[in-house]
Every structure is written in structure tokens, then in C-alpha cells.
Amino acid sequence: MNPLDPQIEEAWYIACQSSELGKQPLKRRILGKSLVLFRDSQGNAGALVDRCIHRGIPLSKGCVKGNHIQCAYHGWEYDAAGHCKRVPALLTDPDVSARKIPAHALIEQQGFVWVYGVADQVPESKPWHFQYIDDPSYLTVVYEVRAPAGVHAIAENALDVPHTAFLHAGLFRNDAKRSRISCEVKRYVDRVQCQYIGEDRPEGLVGRILSPSGGEVTHFDRFYLPSIVEVEYSIGPENHIIINGACTPVGENDTRMFSVTALRTRLPGWLIRPFVMPLALRIFEQDRIILGLQTDTTADFGEPTYVSTDVDLVGPHILKLMNRAAKGQQVDANAEPWSTTIEMEV
């Protein structure tokens, strides 16, 4: 395994948006494993390993029949718990333990289908809850992106400030005009946060849309295990934007991110909305290309060799948290939160 791409198995990940799962079975890969999602006749969703136990055909190539998913080859049927309920032509009871397919715990909430990473296990944790998605005073925009990179690389990228002056030149910050700020980093057992103190209103298009009149800026970047990023800006008393990205490890160097942007601004939602997704997708397209290059280079050279500096504020901490979680290491809670303050020029 790539040491810079830890895979956390015992965790909830978004498999798809609720609207994507209709009458047809849906194949989704999570943590390199192929799953089939389907809804029974009552609309309840289930997630099974996507392989008929009989001859290995993906159940996602079959169809839903009542409360069961049916294999396309010999017509075997399974319920959402993975129990075999029918073997056509066979005269004996089909539902024996050798014919059980591993099933993944599944919770559908806030328009997302969350699946647990380990099969046949009752999770002790709950999926992430998006704080503002149901708040009518916020404009919310939901979209999904995918990048050829691991969760860590994507999370670090999403929360990194220095790259914005180069990769996204003209959108947030620029290289020429810089000012010194303080960054307070706090690492907890299950998350890391960075607060930026003394930051000006971001230059460029994004800043001007958020706050035409300027104003005091509060800016936090946060990462929550296993794979949630959060960027929070308050600009002046009226503007509040919180962007979450829930990352799903599809496989090695392949990640989906389900993003929920919640905005409360002095401008009406109908005016803001048309700008949010095009801008976000334009920014992510630049990130997606660079993340792909990062992945390609690691493949080219056989191993990644990253050298971090003080201004890699949160990436190394995300990696530490992810590695702990991937290995199931216990943390001395007394040592947390660990904190430091770094000065940098943005």
C-alpha cells in the first residue's frame, strides 16, 4: 500500500446520492471492493458485495425482483442482508449459510447513501452530518467530483492555502502581493483544525463575490476522520460560507468527493447560486489535473517522497490521523489537542 494513501476500512463513506439509486442496481467501488446497491420494493436500500456466490457474475448486471436482487446468469435471488432466497431448479432450501453474500451496513440520510467500509459488521459510529444542508437560511449546493488520487492527497489539497496563488492564480490570491498572517493549528484525536489570523479578504473573483464590501475575515480549515474536509469563512457580519467535502476512497488513487457548500450572504441566493458550481468545478478541475500528476509521478518513480515545510499546515497532520485510524492505533487522549502557531506570507 502507498504509505501516503492510508485506507481506513472501519468507517462510513458516501456511496452515491440518493437520487442516483433508482430501480436499477448500481455498482460502486469503495476501498477497492465492488459493491452493488439496490432498493427493494419498499424503497429501502441495501449494499452487497457485487458477486453472485454461485458463478461470480456481478449482481449489478442483474435486476431487482420484489425485495430481492436477481443474478442475470442462473436467476439466483438475494435479499438486502445477502441471504440467498431462491436457486431456480433446485428443490431444496436455497437459504443456507454457504450461499450468503457479505452485506454492508447502509444508512440513507440528507440525500446521501452511506455505506460502511467493512462487510457484515454492525458499526459503532454514525455517518457524518452536514450541519447546514437542511437550514433554510443557507443556500446549499451539492455536487460530486472524482480525482485520480488518494483521500489524503485530495484532503490536503482542499485545505492547503499556499498553492492557491499558483495553481488557482487570479481566483483567490496572487503571488506578488503578500502579507504575513498567523496560523494556529490544533490536532485532536479525530480531527485537525487550522485558524488563519490576520487574513485580508481574499483577492480576486471569489472574494468579490463573497463580500463586495470587504470586512473582517474569519477562516478555518478542518479535517475530520475518516475523510471529511471543511473550509469555513466568515467575511464581515453578513457572509458565512462553509464548504464540506466527504471523500470516498474508490480504490487506490481514485477518490470521489461529495461536496456540500452552504452559503449565507448579503446577496440573495438566486443571484449567488449560478456562480457557485461553475466556479467550484473550475477550481476542482485545476486541482484534479495536479492531483493526477502527483499520482502519475509516484507511479513513475515507484514511491512517493514528500518533503514538507512549516507552511504545509494541515497535510502532515491529516496523514498522521489517517495512519493511526488505518492501523487502529489508540491515541493518548491527554496528549490532545496538540497545537502550534506558524507565521506565513499569503
Q: Which of residues 148-187 bind a second copy (CB under 8 A)?
A: 160-163, 165-167, 175, 178, 180
The CB-of-197 to a second copy minimum distance in angstroms stands at 15
Residue of 158, 107, 154, 156 lying closest to 129 (CA atoms): 107
**C-beta of 11 vs 346, nearer to a second copy:** 346
The CB-of-262 to a second copy minimum distance in angstroms stands at 28
Which grid coordinates are listed for 50?
Answer: 457485487
310 binding a second copy? (CB under 8 A): yes
Q: Which of residues 86-105 bind a second copy (CB under 8 A)?
A: 87-92, 98-99
The dihedral region occupied by 111, where left means phi > 0, alpha psi between -120 and 50, and beta the remainder, is left
The answer to whether 252 touches 150, Cβ cutoff 8 Å, is yes
The CB-of-125 to a second copy minimum distance in angstroms stands at 27
Size of the chain in residues: 346
Q: Which of 298, 317, 321, 322 binds a second copy (CB under 8 A)?
A: 298
The CB-of-107 to a second copy minimum distance in angstroms stands at 25
- φ, ψ (nearest 5 deg) of residue 302: 90, -20
Mark the segment that binds a second copy (CB under 8 A) among 112-120, 188-196, 207-215, 300-308.
Answer: 300-308
Give SS3 for 141: strand
Gap between the Cα atoms of 247 and 48, Å rounded:
21
Which grid coordinates are listed for 283?
Answer: 477550481
Q: Which of 305, 329, 330, 334 binds a second copy (CB under 8 A)?
A: 305
Across the beta sheet with 139-147, the strand order is 139-147, 254-264, 239-251, 228-235, 217-224, 191-197, 180-187, 338-345
The CB-of-266 to a second copy minimum distance in angstroms stands at 30
Which grid coordinates are listed for 148?
Answer: 485520480
22 binding a second copy? (CB under 8 A): no
**C-beta of 41 vs 297, nearer to a second copy:** 297
The CB-of-95 to a second copy minimum distance in angstroms stands at 12
**C-beta of 166 vs 338, nearer to a second copy:** 166
Mark the segment that binds a second copy (CB under 8 A) among 82-90, 140-148, 230-238, 258-266.
Answer: 82-90
Mark the segment that binds a second copy (CB under 8 A) among 102-110, 124-132, 261-269, 304-312.
Answer: 304-312
How many of the other CB atoms lie within 10 Å of CB of 274? 9
Which grid coordinates are listed for 271?
Answer: 443571484
User: For the chain, how big is the Rg over CA atoms in Å?
Assistant: 22
Gap between the Cα atoms of 128 and 168, Å rounded:
29
Q: Which of 208, 293, 338, 340 binds a second copy (CB under 8 A)?
A: 293
The CB-of-18 to a second copy minimum distance in angstroms stands at 26
332 binding a second copy? (CB under 8 A): no
74 binding a second copy? (CB under 8 A): yes
Q: Which of 56, 136, 237, 274 binds a second copy (CB under 8 A)?
A: 56
For residue 296, CA distances in Å to 5, 246, 262, 312 come to: 14, 24, 33, 21
The dihedral region occupied by 120, where left means phi > 0, alpha psi between -120 and 50, and beta the remainder, is left
The CB-of-247 to a second copy minimum distance in angstroms stands at 18
Which grid coordinates are listed for 65?
Answer: 425482483
283 binding a second copy? (CB under 8 A): no
Question: Facing residues of 184 across strands?
Answer: 195, 341
- Point out which residues bind a second copy (CB under 8 A): 34, 50-51, 53-58, 61, 71-75, 87-92, 98-99, 160-163, 165-167, 175, 178, 180, 290, 293-294, 296-298, 300-301, 304-311, 343-346
